[in-house]
Amino acid sequence: MKLILAVLPEKAATLASDRLVAQGYRVTHLASTGGFLRRGSTTLLIGAEDEQVETALRLLREARGQIRGDPGGIAIVLNVAGFERF
């Protein structure tokens, strides 16, 4: 099981989140600020099975590629023992 931390410009994060949820991923949004010029960005927390990671990363890249003029994004994939939804 993996946890994907993706930091994207706000518009790209919204687009990515919509696409991820449509594919059955669970996504949590966290507002964040940082980087050059301290522009607003959004951190997405995405829980995924190992075999879902590449699809999730592709959806993130595609969403980021459709938004122009904002700084790039980053995704960090972490191993997790599991997660519980409550």
- Segment 63-81 shows an average pLDDT of 87
- Residue 77 CA to residue 82 CA, distance in Å, equals 14
Count of beta carbons in the 10 Å neighbourhood of residue 85: 5
On the question of pLDDT at 14 being above 90, the answer is yes
On the question of pLDDT at 17 being above 70, the answer is yes
Count of beta carbons in the 10 Å neighbourhood of residue 72: 10
DSSP H helices, 23-77, are 53-65
CB 15 within 8 A of CB 66: yes
- Residue 15 CA to residue 4 CA, distance in Å, equals 16
pTM tops 0.85, yes or no: yes
